[in-house]
Chain A
Amino acid sequence: MEEKTLIQSCIRGDKSAQHLLYKKFSSLVFGICLRYAKNRMEAEDSMQEAFVKIYNHLKDYQSAGSFEGWVRRIAVNTAITGYRKNLRGRLEDEIDDRSEYANSLVEHHDVEYTMEELMICVQALPDGYRTVFNLYAVEGYKHKEIGEMLQIDVNTSKSQFSRAKGHLQKALLDLSAQKIPVES
């Protein structure tokens, strides 16, 4: 079934078309939700909300851009909305521990990890760091755009990304350090 036909069927409420759409994009949406969420449960909630939005706003989709990009944007926006909702409670996590990770900002190209391990490291990041890291490094947004989206200063976005990178590198180094004795 063509993408356009699939969308039109979904708009009409065709259950089989909705099933096809879910099959096609569920992995993509779940991957995005897992990256922005703290744990799997939170990711599932976010995924549910994202798909409900997708089904309800299909009629608003303009054929100008790619449909996959549109779906991705809805999933990211849903994750950001969730982050904003709990922003007040999460501010306590934003502790300035730059000194701790200042020396760890070294590129390590030969760190081996699985995707599950990488995801655990990303989810272990503080909420603000994780969101900025995902938006900047993975989605490709500019710091100015991130500042507007999260309603934070551009410099805050930059510093949070820097700290997120440091956290992640250290977590990956620790992971590889744990692996070495096991392998030897």
Chain B
Amino acid sequence: MNKVANDLQNYAPQAPSGMEDRIQKALNKKKSFWAFSWYTMNVYAVALIGAGVLALVFSNRGESRVVVQSVAPSAAEVKAIPSDVADVNANSHVILNAEKESKSTPAKTIRRSKIVQGETSVSALVVENCQSTPIVEPAIVEVAETIEVQRMPEEIQVPYPKKEVIKAKGRTLKLTRFTGK
């Protein structure tokens, strides 16, 4: 048995071919994980750039959504504009007093008001029907030609206009809107 043990102790066969390359590969693989190497740096750089591009894409998407949301209230604002007109109508007795009316400046005006008023001469009607009242030239001469839509930070809840019928002496007259300075 000692002879067997001795033979085994001195047994040194030739290592298989390709074993050295295999060891070197394993060695490099283990080293590259812990130690610095340009290969891993490139991988990290590509990963960082990719992450940055993705972040940029997602942030742009978020901004476009915000714009869509901010545009929606402005449309609602335009629709709600008649409420301003209604305020003017509610205080339409001011028409009879030009000085006071001049003070009532509506916040916003729209082109539509001009079209409605352009069909009939309201002042003429007033003159015809209200004999006892002094003739007052309405101050609805100037109508804003351009619509200025201001972007509102928040949606403004405007109450729906109340329709009121103004009963003039003699014939009834329904005034829809008066604008102007």
Contacts and interface: CB of A to CB of B under 8 A. Distances in A.
Interface residues of B, number: 21
B20 A26 contact: yes
Interface of A: 15, 18-19, 22, 26-31, 34-35, 40, 44, 47-48, 51-52, 55-56, 107, 109, 115, 118-119, 122, 134, 137-139, 165, 168-169, 172
**Residue among B4, B5, B7, B20 with most chain A CB within 10 A:** B4
B30 A28 contact: no
The 4 tightest CB contacts between A and B, nearest first, are A27-B12, A26-B15, A137-B5, A31-B12
A131 B168 CA distance: 120
A34 to B, nearest CB: 7
Interface of B: 1, 3-5, 7-9, 11-16, 19-20, 22-24, 26-27, 30
10 contacts: A22-B20, A26-B15, A26-B19, A27-B13, A30-B16, A31-B12, A44-B16, A137-B4, A139-B9, A169-B1
**Residue among A27, A31, A34, A118 with most chain B CB within 10 A:** A31
Contacts, number: 75
Contacts of B30: 52, 56
A137 B19 contact: no
Contacts of B4: 118, 137, 168, 172
A6 to B, nearest CB: 16
A20 B23 CA distance: 14
B11 A52 contact: no
B8 A138 contact: yes
Given A48-B19, A48-B22, A168-B4, A28 B12 contact: yes
